[in-house]
Structure 1
Amino acid sequence: MFDIGFWELVLISVVGLVVLGPERLPVAIRNVARMVGTVRRMAGSVKDELEQELKIKELQDNLKKAENMGMQNIAPELQKSVDELKQAAEDVKRPYQSDAKSENPQSQSTKEQ
C-alpha cells in the first residue's frame, strides 16, 4: 500500500526521536502499533461482513431465478444455491424450535400448579 523504504524509516525514526525524546518514543511506537492493529482488525471484519452479505445476495438472486423457472429443470449451481438457502433457513429455525420446546414444559408445569 505505502512504499516506504529503509531510508524513509530511518528518517521517521530520527525525527521521532528528536521530537518526542528517548523516554516517550517507545510509548508512542506501541500506541501507533496498537492503532494499526485495531484498524487492520476492523478492516478484516468489514471485509468478512461484506463477503458474507455478497454471498447472501447471490443466494437470494439464485433463489429468485429458481422461483421464476418454476423450480423445475434448473441448473445444478442454482439447485445447489437453493439447497444451501434451505439448509440456512433450517439452521435459523432450529434454535427457536428448541427454545419453544424447552419453554412449553415449563408453561405446562406452571398451569398444573
Structure 2
Amino acid sequence: MGMWELVVVFIVGLVVLGPERLPVAIRTVSRWVKTAKAMANSVKAEVSEELRVHELHENLKKAEQQGLKDLSPDLQNSVSELQQAAQSVTHSYKKSQTPASNSQQTDDSK
C-alpha cells in the first residue's frame, strides 16, 4: 500500500468509527497483522526445515546407493549430520529410559 491509500483508509476510518474508537481499531488491526506475520514466519521455518530434512534424506539415499564409499563432500556432510542426530536421539532415549527401568526394578523388589 502506498502513502495515499493509507491516507484514504485513515480518513474513511475516522469518518466511520469516529475519533474515540479509531485508536482501538488501529491497535486491534495491528495485533491481527502481527499475529498473521508470526504465523507466516512459523510456517516458513517449518517448510524450510522440512526441505532440509528432505534434502538430507535424498543425500542419504545417494550415499547408500554408492555404498557409503567415495562420497562427495556434500553427501559426507549429510551422512555425518544424520549420524550425529541419530546418536543424540539414542542418548536422550537411553537417559529417559534409565530412570524408568530403575523405578520398575524397585517396584518389583517390593
Deviation at 1:24, TM superposition (A): 1.2
Deviation at 1:42, TM superposition (A): 0.3
Instruction: State the match for 1:111 in structure 2.
Output: 108
**Which AA in structure 2 matches 1:57?**
H
Counterpart check, 1:9 vs 2:21: no
Counterpart check, 1:53 vs 2:50: yes
Q: Normalising by the residue count of structure 2, what TM-score does the alignment of the two structures yield?
A: 0.94
Instruction: State the match for 1:85 in structure 2.
Output: 82
Q: For structure 2, list consecutive stretches of 5 or more residues without a partner in the other structure.
A: none
Q: For structure 1, list consecutive stretches of 5 or more residues without a partner in the other structure.
A: none
Aligned mate of 2:16, from 6, 11, 19: 19
Instruction: State the match for 2:30 in structure 1.
Output: 33
Instruction: State the match for 1:63 in structure 2.
Output: 60
Number of residue pairs matched?
Answer: 110
**Which AA in structure 1 matches 2:4?**
W
Deviations 1:37-65 (A, max 9, x none): 00000000000000000000000000000
CA distance in 2, matches of 1:32, 1:7: 19
Matched position secondary structure for 1:17: helix
Q: Which runs of 4+ in 1 moved over 3 A?
A: none
Task: Calculate percent identity across the aligned residue pairs.
Answer: 50
CA RMSD of aligned residues (A): 1.0
Q: Normalising by the residue count of structure 1, what TM-score does the alignment of the two structures yield?
A: 0.92
